[in-house]
Amino acid sequence: MSDPTRVTADPFDLVVIGSGPGGYVAAIRAAQLGMRTACVEKYPILGGTCLNVGCIPSKALLDSSEHFAQARHGFAAHGIRATVELDLATMQKRKDTVVSELTRGVEGLFRKNKIERVQGVGRIASATEVAVTGEGGARTLKTQRILVATGSKPSALPGIAYDGRRIVHSTDALTLPEVPKSMLVIGAGAIGLELGSVWLRLGAEVTVLEFMDRPVPGMDKKSGALLRRALEKQGMKFRFGASAKAARVEGDRVRVTVSEGGAEREHTCDVLLVAVGRRPYTEGLGAAEAGLRIDERGRIAVDEHYATAVPGIFAIGDVIAGPMLAHKAEEEGIAAVERMAGLPGHVAYECVPNVVYTWPELAGVGLSEEDAAARGVEVAIGTFPFLANGRAKAMNEREGQVKILADARTDRIVGAHIVGPRASDLIAELAFAMEMGASAEDVARSVHAHPTLPEAVKEAALGVGRRAIHI
């Protein structure tokens, strides 16, 4: 009987497993460098979690819901009176259109760069073979190198089972058919606050449970406190030092057992959103069987060149150590491929920004005040509130501030944190400044257009030297 498995006649230079931001960007860069490249994706649509059920659809809903909230509560301050009605179906359709346009864009880039797209589940058969199973049958891809970019998936909690409608994870929360009257969110990280904000703006009563004593625990503490106050003004409720132990659906309600202050009590809601982070996705990959080392958190161990314990196999993105951020995965994909080609690819991890896309937004890069203290780094700090920024006042966006941390000895910027309008855009200047080894004085001396939000960045840099002008 003949073997139905098809084997590629000529080996690829690189086979990438996974087409998320890390995988598809790596595949494109490899093709640019002249490598014969294939990308294996189990779903019929390219783009991975980020484009399909993560970054992009959530930001589409965040923008739409912000427009809705502005029409209901913000336009009046500008002299605009409006009667507003929510059309959730159209809002969801717009989100889906945005996703579709971007995923089709990735398909176009694959065609442009002559990357072979292989649909199916990829498994490492050996250091030079990727076995793919899909609707079209089985296929084995011969290759010189393998790059694992399989990403992550939502974590679960013991005693709480997802049902996709009442007890949901982040993917389910993007497609709720109606606005719940009440939503309980477990986890005050970026995902919980962002999706909680969407449904809060659309009319849900939202309460956030967080095991730690503050929101966004991994970011600058004082900046997180500013964000918390802003969200509380919008109606979001927080309960810290709390965790969910169990949940069950009864009819159209969810009964959640909450542990708080040494006692357990029951909380009821229409929708329970579990947003306690993500975990590496390696199911069916054959990583351990191939000899790759897996740590206690399910991550693949790699060296500074993104090489695993098996020569010829590399890994990037959410499946290795570090923050689970799309832009981090992209940069790792480029660096890994460039190193394969003998080029000096690198990622400056201390300059990778992190953003919470609530409104106001929270963005940070580098050291927080807590990090600096823990490392014994003496810093000079400059802050500037948006309340004193002309453009922010004109926009009626007065929440938050820019904070810059500079080494007290050298004046080199070692961290920056922004709470306010378009913080996600403003942080780029400071991430670039850090990448270039710039000082607070360098930023303070650079000319910023007036009136603009970036002037708050300049003023914070001036504040490091205690010479801010407008405060």
Which sequence positions are flagged as catalytic?
450
Pair 51, 20: CB distance under 8 Å: yes
In three-state secondary structure terms, 83 is coil
Count of Cβ atoms closer than 10 Å to residue 101 Cβ: 10
Nearest to 355 by CA among 365, 368, 369: 365
Which token pair is 359?
Answer: 């409104």
> Rounded to whole angstroms, how far apart are CA atoms 17 and 109?
17
Handedness of CA 112, 115, 119, 122 (dihedral sign): negative
Torsions phi, psi for 431 (to 5 deg)? -65, -40
**CA geometry: angle at 107 spanning 103 and 111, to 5°?**
165
Three-state SS string over 376-426 comes to CCCEEEEEEEHHHCHHHHHHCCCCCEEEEEEECCCCEEEEEEEEECCHHHH
Which token pair is 463?
Answer: 């504040």
Q: Residue with structure tokens 């659309």? A: 202
- Per DSSP, 319 falls in state G
> Rounded to whole angstroms, how far apart are CA atoms 466 and 459?
10
β-pairing verdict for 379-385 and 401-407: antiparallel
271-274 sheet: strands from edge to edge: 167-168, 271-274, 182-186, 205-210, 237-240
Pair 61, 143: CB distance under 8 Å: no
Contacts of 170 (CB under 8 A, 6+ apart): 53, 54, 58, 154, 191, 195, 273, 275
> Rounded to whole angstroms, how far apart are CA atoms 61 and 247?
27
Which token pair is 11?
Answer: 């080996």
What are 257's strand-pairing partners? 246, 266
Packing angle, helices 88-112 and 21-32, rounded to 10: 20
Which token pair is 4?
Answer: 């139905």
In three-state secondary structure terms, 23 is helix
Torsions phi, psi for 192 (to 5 deg)? -60, -45
Pair 384, 365: CB distance under 8 Å: no
**CA geometry: angle at 92 spanning 91 and 95, to 5°?**
90
Pair 454, 429: CB distance under 8 Å: yes
